[in-house]
Amino acid sequence: MHADVIVLARHVEHLAEAATAPSTNGNANAVAIADGRVIAVGDAQALESLRGPGTAVHAFPGATVLPGITDVHAHPVWGSISIGSGVDLSGASTLDQVCNRLAEAADTRAADEWITGYDLDVNVFDGDPTGVVFAERFPGRPISLMTRDAHALVVSPRVVELVGLTGRETFTDASSIETGPDGRPTGFVVELQAMDLVFAHYPDVPVDTAAAYVLHQLERLARSGLTGLHALDFSEPSEAVYRHIEEQGHLPLRIRCSPLVPADSSPDVWQHIAGLQGRRGRRWHVEGAKFMLDGTADNGTAWFDHPDIHGENREPLWRDVDAYRAAMRFFTERGIPTATHAIGDRAVRFALDVIEEVGRAARAPHRIEHIESIPDDLLGRFAELDVVASLQPVHATRHTRADGTDNWSRRIGPDRVAHGWRTRDLLDHGAVVALGSDWPIGPGDPRIGLADCQVRRPVEEPDAAPVQPGQAISAREAYTGMTVAAAYAAGASDELGRIAPGCLADLTVFAANPLDLAPEAQPGNAVLATVVGGAVQLHPNTAKGRP
């Protein structure tokens, strides 16, 4: 049997089967691939017999080949559409800077045309976020800005008028339309059901336009080293977008989609989501179900044992937690793994309790996402119950500050801050820790996020004080979190996360071995190629990672 493709490099970095026990693969420097799978790994001379007249040979002198990097928590469709059609507010640290960016967009649009934006830092407001501030600068203009955590909008008075918001709306989850002392909406729209009222009035984005936005961003992510991602959503227009892209060509990476189970939804909704399982294209498929047990600490909608300084962060998004328990059992009994968004300590505890009751799903382990602050007694339960801890450490390094002056830290207080972002502690207690970005909420370039894990600050800011420095992990542990652990989280350890005969040929080719580099050098470690199912994609000019 001849190989379809042979990849040659200086070193092939093999990771062991156990998600917590990576090891190198000796002096291997070649990978042979046939029919989309690895057929041999070893010395180039030993694999020479697999080279045939039709074998494509890709040589990367001095490079290191790793198992393909997978981001276990991302939102590729709505994230790409938001970026493609909205104003980038990242780095805008004052309200004047926000308004200046909005003014640039307003100059190119009709007076009544919507302006949407993303990555709004709520710390720019002096007090509670409010859209009233946009009335004077942009009179009559519909403006809707998504906050950095993607769990709230700040909208202008014109949007309040167009949508018909009153502040008296009721929701089945913990959503709200915030009001001021006069009882009128302030323009702060909190959580998903409330946000959906605004989204319904957004201008339509044609499928071909949305597909172009998504493909552009996926190609960018592939150039940064990703060969796969887990999309923790599957709502309109996800399927249409993926199918449109594959009608024209290929997705540049694999996408595992887990639809959202809405808070307090009915068994009819659960059955519909169960019916989506297995729907697929060439490089995307639906597997798993996503729950949001609570919201975010920044909005006061996370579920902690004790309220925050404002008396908030004390309730779940699921008003009927018994319905969450019933839904978890429904999916588990059908072999469908779940991923539960749980930020507050009580949400994490409750999710673990329910998982202990319902047991493991047949296809893959259950997961808990985010886990921002938990007490010591919960650390060991992840390993005991075989629950994957799905973390996004970039939230710690880029959304909070070591001095505690950020909104998250001020709200929940120093005791809970001290128990935040416990990547090191979870690993030390035997948990499988899978790492993601929550892109576009965090930087999608894995080289940046993985370096942040090691230095506990934005890697490009050497003078920044580290956030919870005791939670730093090694380069090997970090890269394991987006390879071996990512595969385990998907129930795909027999096919992904390793470079071994029989595994899918998903590889990331780095100019240098990131495990040998200082964290500060890792974002600049060029990705020379990615390989997805044996298809080699060359990536020139990728030496600099970007936040």
Residue whose token pair is 């470690």:
525
Q: Specify whether the CB–CB gap between 49 and 547 falls below 8 A.
A: no
Report the pLDDT averaged over residues 531-535. Answer: 98
Q: Specify whether the CB–CB gap between 395 and 436 falls below 8 A.
A: no
Residue 25 has pLDDT above 60, yes or no: no
pLDDT value of position 542: 56
Q: Specify whether the CB–CB gap between 338 and 388 falls below 8 A.
A: no
Output the CA torsion 110→113→119→124 (10° steps): 80
Q: Specify whether the CB–CB gap between 367 and 355 falls below 8 A.
A: no
Residue from 189, 197, 175 nearest 292 by CA: 175
Dist CA 411 CA 307 (whole Å): 9
Q: Is 451 helix (H, G, I), strand (E, B) or coil?
A: helix
Annotated domain spans of the chain: 5-68+502-538, 77-199
Q: Describe the strand order of the beta sheet including 260-261 as a list of residue ranges.
A: 260-261, 289-292, 338-342, 367-370, 388-391, 433-435
Residue from 157, 164, 126 nearest 143 by CA: 157
| pLDDT tens-digit map of 216-225 | 999 999 999 9
Which residue would you say has higher pLDDT here, 127 or 60? 60
| pLDDT tens-digit map of 272-295 | 999 999 999 999 999 999 999 999
pLDDT value of position 16: 56
Residue 123 has pLDDT above 90, yes or no: no
Given the DSSP bridges, would you call strands 535-538 and 527-532 parallel, antiparallel or unpaired?
antiparallel
Query: Fold match between 5-68+502-538 and 77-199?
Result: no
pLDDT value of position 23: 42
pLDDT value of position 1: 85
pLDDT value of position 544: 47
Residue 14 has pLDDT above 80, yes or no: no
Cβ atoms within 10 A of the Cβ of 89, count? Answer: 21
Report the pLDDT averaged over residues 374-388. Answer: 98
Partners of 532 in the β-ladder: 535
pLDDT value of position 20: 40
The distance between the two most distant Cα atoms of the chain, rounded to a whole number of Å, is: 80
Q: Specify whether the CB–CB gap between 23 and 37 falls below 8 A.
A: no
CATH superfamily of 5-68+502-538: Urease, subunit C, domain 1 (2.30.40.10)
In the chain, the amino acid numbered 462 is: P
- In this prediction, what percent of the chain has a pLDDT beyond 70? 97
Partners of 510 in the β-ladder: 64, 527
| pLDDT tens-digit map of 165-192 | 999 999 988 899 999 999 999 999 999 8
Report the pLDDT averaged over residues 318-335. Answer: 97
Task: Please give the span between the terminal C-alpha atoms of the chain, in angstroms, as a whole number.
Answer: 44
Residue from 345, 356, 344, 408 nearest 383 by CA: 356
- Tell me the CATH architecture of domain 77-199: Roll (3.10)
| pLDDT tens-digit map of 86-104 | 999 988 999 999 999 999 9
Residues in the chain, overall count: 547
Dist CA 418 CA 412 (whole Å): 10
Residue from 9, 56, 44 nearest 535 by CA: 56
- The mean predicted confidence, pLDDT, of the chain is 94
Report the pLDDT averaged over residues 21-45. Answer: 85
Q: Which residues contact 121 (CB under 8 A, 6 or more apart)?
A: 89, 92, 93, 147, 148
Output the CA torsion 261→213→248→206 (10° steps): 80
| pLDDT tens-digit map of 500-522 | 999 999 999 999 999 999 999 99
Confidence of residue 474 (pLDDT cuts 50, 70, 90): very high
Confidence of residue 540 (pLDDT cuts 50, 70, 90): confident
In terms of phi and psi (left: phi > 0; alpha: psi -120 to 50; beta: otherwise), the region of 34 is beta
Q: Describe the strand order of the beta sheet including 226-231 as a list of residue ranges.
A: 69-74, 226-231, 254-257, 284-286
Residue whose token pair is 């697929």:
280
In the chain, the amino acid numbered 517 is: L
Q: Is 349 helix (H, G, I), strand (E, B) or coil?
A: helix
| pLDDT tens-digit map of 344-363 | 999 999 999 999 999 999 99
